[in-house]
Amino acid sequence: MREIIDLACTTCKRRNYSTSKNKKNDPDRLERNKFCKFCRKHTSHKEVK
């Protein structure tokens, strides 16, 4: 049930992180606050396919 996903910065649209999630427990797209090394600040990162 676990699937590997990428997290992309909402500001610069670059894919910075990869993680896994359980599609059964989290059917919606994930959104986390993470540090973007390209923007050099903490920004919101959303799940992309």
Name the band, by pLDDT with cuts 50, 70 and 90, for residue 44: very high
Burial 12-46 (b: 16+ CB within 10 A, else e): eeeebeeeebeeeeeeeeeeeeeebeeeeeebebe
pLDDT tier at 49, thresholds 50, 70, 90: confident
Domain 2-48 grouped into CATH 1.10.1200.10:
no
Whole-model pTM: value is: 0.85
Structural domain spans, the chain: 2-48
- pLDDT the model gives residue 33: 97
User: Per-residue pLDDT tens for 8-32?
Assistant: 999 999 999 999 999 999 899 999 9
Residue 1 has pLDDT above 90, yes or no: no
